[in-house]
Structure 1
Amino acid sequence: MKNNEAFEAVKEIRVMMEKSSRFLSFSGTSAILIGLYALAGAFIAQGIIMSSKYTPGDYSAPTWVVIAPDIIIIALIVFVLSLTTVLFFSVRKAKRMEAPFISGPAYRTFLNFFLPLMVGGIFSVALLISGNIGIIAPVMLLFYGLSLINASKYTYGSIFWLGCGELLIGLICAFSPGHGLLLWSLGFGVLHIIYGIYFFFRVERDSKA
């Protein structure tokens, strides 16, 4: 009896320490939706590319200059939708857990996530301006993977492995000219959906239980 009480006390202390030091308001549902947004965006972008008779391997083609604004707008819409979804589900989960959403762990998590991501975004813009279109997709995947790994220290550890998966796909993409959109869809779309399903059933369900 005393052993059970001691075990429960240690468990409660551990939970309290995690809540005070880690951002635990992340939702698996948001990861799944982010993946769906990415796939929808990639599908629309593929339609634009095909309708322009653009050759995937010819990144310097004049046609790319015409379709680039549309592709950028799609990417921005996907990003805004993804960010809004993460914030919405995180705030809702924080309320359900009776924990503050705005906290020290949240600041550290978002700072460590967005700092590499912003650098990658600015670098991608520089590549676009200089005409190095072919390596934008792998750069986005690589910097996103680094952002996830960097933020995983302050939230769920499993996000580290999602970041590693993004890095792997980014490196494959760097050596696969002409397949940027396909691998971008795999990294930002399929990988997110798989991780979101895993997180929902293996992490969120277990924590509720």
Structure 2
Amino acid sequence: MDSPYIGEFIFIYLLCISKYFLIMKNNEAVEAVKEIRVMMEKSSRFLSFSGTSAILIGLYALAGAFVARGIISPVKEIPDEYSTPGWITIAPHIILVALIVFVLSLSTILFFSARKAKKMNHSFINGPAYRTFLNFFLPLTVGGIFCVALLVEGDVGIIAPVMLLFYGLSLINASKYTYGNIFWLGCSELLLGLICAFFPGKGLLLWAIGFGILHIVYGIYFYFRIERYSAA
């Protein structure tokens, strides 16, 4: 082989080698950026939420709505009882049903979130978890106390929209510290709450859709599109 061709061959060979290492370095840089991003998300966001818990919460809500309907129906069917004293009579039962649904829902979230955190090999009790729960429960607690006051005073027509609205605000408020798509679930709850405000007679039905159906749909979406994908 003539020397000019040898030189050209060496030049092409070195050029290919340099491009190869450049590509390798670029790939390593991309992988490093991805790792940094994952670490930042773990340190700044609550990522232990489980789609299974959302599905179960929806089922609890539907069961609670069914029980509440049985409690409310006699009061609505008797004209003399459709008054503040009548609602005060059933208020403890409604509050009890709501508390049972709430305790079951909270226990389910904590159980599945702790189990997922263990699978992901990171702590369940951390800064992002505190921020998420604080931003979620602060408006939710205010809304819950407000709803109890409405129930005791007999202003039952606006309880369902108030619950949906405060719950939607709680989800939106907490979405900054966990999965961003929870924001859209919160917006859906807000929209449903506004619709419910204009149709108070359908309050329990819309409440069941908001806390029951929407949770089940979101839980299924989250499990198959996010949770299984991230676990793979």
Compute the TM-score of the two structures, normalised by the length of structure 1.
Answer: 0.93
Matched with 1:36 is: 59
2:174 to 126, 151, 157: 151
Pairwise CA distance, 1:128: 2.0
Amino acid aligned to 2:152 = I
Amino acid aligned to 1:178 = G
Q: Equivalent residues in 2 for 1:1-209 (5 A)?
A: 1-50=24-73, 52=74, 54-55=76-77, 60=83, 62-209=85-232
Paired with 1:102 and 1:133, the residues of 2 have a C-alpha distance of 38
Deviations 1:50-102, CA, capped at 9 Å, x for gaps:
3x262499963654333322221111100000000000011111111111111
Aligned partners of 1:35 and 1:192 also within 8 Å = yes
Query: Structure 1: where are the runs of 5+ without partners?
Result: none
Amino acid aligned to 1:54 = K
Greater percentage in helix: 2
Aligned residues: 208
Compute the TM-score of the two structures, normalised by the length of structure 2.
Answer: 0.84
Instruction: Tell which structure's C-alpha radius of gyration is larger.
Output: 2
Pairwise CA distance, 1:110: 0.6
Structure 1: which 4+ aligned runs deviate by more than 6 Å?
none
Aligned partners of 2:132 and 2:175 also within 8 Å = yes
Percentage of matched positions with identical amino acids: 78
Paired with 2:85 and 2:133, the residues of 1 have a C-alpha distance of 38
Query: Structure 2: where are the runs of 5+ without partners?
Result: 1-23
Which range is displaced more, 82-91 or 130-139? 130-139
